[in-house]
Structure 1
Amino acid sequence: MNLFFRKSIVAATGLFLCIFLMVHVSANIILVFPEATARSLYNAYSTTLRESMLISIVAYLLYLSIIFHVVYAGIITYKNRNSKGVQNTINHNKENSSWASQNMGVLGMLILIFIIIHLVNFWARVKLGIGETVGTDMAGNIDVYEVTFTLFHNPYYVLFYSILMLPLGFHLHHGLKSAFKTLGFYHKKGLSVLAKISLIYALILSVGFGIIPIIVYFK
């Protein structure tokens, strides 16, 4: 399997994950509403996602995308570090590359740690029933809001969650613009616009995800 194919998989899955993150942060905005409104809306939204066949298919595609993205990105990083030719090229261009591009592997590893802990605290409890029993709200929906609200009132978890949005921002900023280049987009003016869009996107996502737990904590 050649390097271009591996990079294409990383780029394509990365773009799919970028779309998911936009939807995810949009849903999380519900959490900053007054509790009476937020609880019913958030739980109804979560129930709709769990019961929709289409969303279930998208969810499995999401899981596969995360796995492929992590595995192939890891393979590329490993091979680059163990290839003298590639390593020499990286060193030669180091002064022309951003800090994020030089440390995508480290940033990705931090994000992977976050994802695992996040899934254990949310997905495993709600979807698999692992840990404390999750109750229901007045409408009979699984009270995902209560799970989220409780976690976001743990100062250690809030600190962990918000700080880990920094590497996410750096990863998204470099990864989004690089993904289009990997897939063959080389229009000079277009790349300049894309770089600005990538920065705005990364700021919205990292600040959005990072500040919501803090707002909920002080509610």
Structure 2
Amino acid sequence: MSLTGLFLSTFLIVHMAGNLQLFKADGGRAFNEYTYFMTHNPLILTVSYLLYTSILVHALMALILTRHNQASRPVKYAYSKPEANSPWSSRNMGILGTVILVFIIIHMRTFWYEMHFGSVPMAEYDGKQYKDLYAVVKEAFSEWWYVLLYVVSMVAVGYHLAHGFQSGFQTLGWRHPKYTPLIENVGRIFFAIIIPAAFAAMPIYIFLQVHGII
């Protein structure tokens, strides 16, 4: 579970870097060229299957570990004060993970499925045809409820990674007095704040743009 979690964290960096093309004022050209590369490069296609497998394994292992923990302690403590021993995110990883899994399913249905099996319009740049996924993105993010779902899900991702990133290193035994504080800060600042905020900014930006607010 730790290995798949850290792999998925790495994927988020790549995914965020590519999706930042949405902020370019070029009518979606940079984003469409990026999606073409991601769906035609043999290495990327191979890694994508590893990604799908990692998501399923991570979710399955979370379920197995949760059931195992419940079975090992079927009777709860008469009294406990969990907030004194662990942060909120670590006590609610299951809930956060469930929210994220539901979001991933909806997200992949909206974009991944449409890109591969839907009727995506075409765009032409320098005489070359591209699937216009940017148009699909604009249509989805023009709906306020989808933007709200996306932002709430990114909050869940932030809390999930706030605990999960450093926990992955700890579970694997990769702890050191010199490097552990750095790992914890990277988890809290970069993975829990910067990455989710960057992802959340994308649908908000497009929603405001589509509706003529900016």
Q: CA 1:188–1:157 in structure 2 vs 1: closer, same or farther (change >3 Å)?
A: same
Asked if the contact 2:24–2:30 (Cα under 8 Å) also holds between the matched residues in 1, the reply is: no
Where 2:120 maps in the other structure, the secondary structure is: coil
Matched, 1:17 2:12: no
Correspondence for 1:190 among 149, 158, 179: 179
TM-score by structure 2 length? 0.90
RMSD, aligned CA:
1.8
What amino acid is the match of 1:212?
M
Q: Deviations over 1:67-116 (max 9, x none)?
A: 1000001110121122218965xx57652111111010000000001000
Residue 150 of structure 1 corresponds to 139
Q: Deviations over 1:29-79 (max 9, x none)?
A: 11112143xx11111111111111111100000000001000001110121
Matched, 1:135 2:139: no
Which stretch has the larger CA shift, 91-100 or 176-185? 91-100
Asked if the contact 1:81–1:87 (Cα under 8 Å) also holds between the matched residues in 2, the reply is: no
Instruction: Could you list the structure 1 runs, at least 4 aligned residues long, displaced by more than 4 angstroms after superposition.
Output: 85-88, 91-94
> Following the alignment from structure 1 to structure 2, what is the Cα–Cα distance between the partners of residues 42 and 93?
45
Which stretch has the larger CA shift, 181-190 or 11-20? 181-190
> Following the alignment from structure 1 to structure 2, what is the Cα–Cα distance between the partners of residues 112 and 52?
26
> Following the alignment from structure 2 to structure 1, what is the Cα–Cα distance between the partners of residues 74 and 168?
23
Residue 160 of structure 2 corresponds to 171
**Percent identity between the aligned chains?**
37
> Following the alignment from structure 1 to structure 2, what is the Cα–Cα distance between the partners of residues 15 and 51?
25
What amino acid is the match of 2:196?
S
> Following the alignment from structure 2 to structure 1, what is the Cα–Cα distance between the partners of residues 174 and 30?
40
Residue 81 of structure 1 corresponds to 70
Where 2:122 maps in the other structure, the secondary structure is: coil
> Following the alignment from structure 1 to structure 2, what is the Cα–Cα distance between the partners of residues 40 and 23?
19
Residue 85 of structure 2 corresponds to 96
> Following the alignment from structure 2 to structure 1, what is the Cα–Cα distance between the partners of residues 22 and 81?
47
> Following the alignment from structure 1 to structure 2, what is the Cα–Cα distance between the partners of residues 109 and 52?
31
Question: Following TM superposition, by how much is the alpha carbon of 1:127 offset from its aligned partner in structure 2, in angstroms?
Answer: 1.1
What amino acid is the match of 1:106?
I
Q: Which has the higher contact order (CA 8 A, sep 6+)?
A: 1
> Following the alignment from structure 2 to structure 1, what is the Cα–Cα distance between the partners of residues 175 and 114?
44
- More helix per residue: 1 or 2? 1
TM-score by structure 1 length? 0.88
Q: CA 1:82–1:49 in structure 2 vs 1: closer, same or farther (change >3 Å)?
A: same
What amino acid is the match of 1:150?
E
Where 1:189 maps in the other structure, the secondary structure is: coil
Q: CA 1:95–1:33 in structure 2 vs 1: closer, same or farther (change >3 Å)?
A: same
Give structure 1 stretches of 5+ with no counterpart: 1-9
Question: Following TM superposition, by how much is the alpha carbon of 1:128 offset from its aligned partner in structure 2, in angstroms?
Answer: 2.2
Where 2:131 maps in the other structure, the secondary structure is: coil
Correspondence for 1:30 among 15, 21, 28: 21
Q: CA 1:190–1:87 in structure 2 vs 1: closer, same or farther (change >3 Å)?
A: farther
Where 1:137 maps in the other structure, the secondary structure is: strand
Matched, 1:110 2:99: yes
> Following the alignment from structure 1 to structure 2, what is the Cα–Cα distance between the partners of residues 214 and 62?
26
* Equivalent residue pairs, number: 204
Give structure 2 stretches of 5+ with no counterpart: 210-214
